[in-house]
Structure 1
Amino acid sequence: MADPDINPQMENDEQKNYGVLLYYKYAAIPDLQSLFDFYHSNCTSLSLLGRVRLSSHGVNVTVGGRLRALEEHIEAVKSNALFEGTDFKLASCLEPLDDQVARECGFTSLSIRIVKELVTLNSHPLLKSPEISDAGRHLSAAEFHSVLQNAGKCEEKSAGSDKKLILLDARNLYETRIGKFDAPDVKTLDPEIRQYSDLPSWIDNNSEQLRGNNILMYCTGGIRCEMASAYIRSKGAGFENVFQ
């Protein structure tokens, strides 16, 4: 017998609500196999699809599924002290993705892997990745917006200084074609890279455009800015002011 307190229409609407969840966390993982088992069990039981990458220094997750299942997943992850302070980016949609979009975004299966690096900044095996502890300062969405909106005013006040605000897009060509920030008073640099591992070379070749300026970076989920901002700051004097 149906529960009279449950509205069938509301229940049906909830079942149609889908979403996409992105999050990452840099932290020392003491037991990778245990964490792997958690993700496999949790994501499978909640019918979540997508990609989970685990390494000894953190996790990088992009999964999709029913909105309620994603919310349950977030609560389960939050119960682990390792994920304290994690920024969960959850976007909802009313209908499931069509097959073509699902294939393009990787939501046709669940892939969980233990990897050496969460993101590969440089494909050269002999080059050491920068220290993530040296990453640029985090800004909230409101702070990021405020910096862009007030860029022209700030530069007018500091007319005697050559320091400017540079907006650096850390995404690849495919992503930038979908859309990008438009800030009239801010110099925007789009590296037009095909893959993330091309970014260090672009930074090296364009370092003079960055030197001595305030660099505001953005990507899709945030994790690429972590490593890229650390790489910029590792260049030393003149590259300290990096924000993400």
Structure 2
Amino acid sequence: MTAANTISPWLPYGRSGTGTRLYCFPHAGASAAVYANWRDAAGDDLVVCPVQLPGRAARGREAAHHDARKLVNDVLSGLGSEFTGDYAIFGHSVGALTAYLVTRKIVEQGGRPPRHLFVSGRAAPHLPSTRRELRALPVDDLVVELRALGGFPDVLQRDRALLEMFLPLLRADLSVNETYRHVPGPPLPIPLTVFGGHGDPRADDAELAAWRELSADSALFTYPGGHFYLEKRAPELLGVIRERLTVKV
């Protein structure tokens, strides 16, 4: 983007403001709208920039990615010019994996890394997966798994036709998450903060803590509320994010 308030497909809310830019990647099946309310709660020193990935909202006619590395390459192709100056990156669930891989690719390419990486609601990417994979489950089985996670919209449970329209995007995002195979690399040269919810069936406390192996400067914060704990804790999380942004490399 050439102007602070320009709207682009990747940044539907723009990025007006002068504080640290926080680029936020959503969970599986979600759009940039899940972070819309963060913008008003962030304060003047933090500019929340929800990222709109292909396959959702106004980008619904674009093909959603099924592969993590292709997704990262697309993000860097579309948003690479944004990743400079005073910025940080956040991601929840599969968004945490995307945020980590984008950050790692920036570092590997010799770009300017974010001031801080914030990840939430996902097991550390270098751990082997031990859970039932979701991406190819029959619809009814998949719905049971999603309801157990919480945060599954009631309207999708009531409207089968709408659910069927939603599933290809969800399955694509789940594929990004479940087909990723970790390649070891050096620790990130930036601070890392991990967030999670107690009782998350997809990321227990030990799996969250394992993220700390990926940066020499890290911290872990957990809250009641399971996988979607953050839906009711935006102001609290943003407060921690602002505090952690004061950490120096």
Question: Is the pair's TM-score, using the shorter chain for normalization, greater than 0.5?
Answer: no
TM-score by length of 1: 0.26
Q: Which has the higher helix share?
A: 2
How does the TM-score come out when normalised to structure 2?
0.25
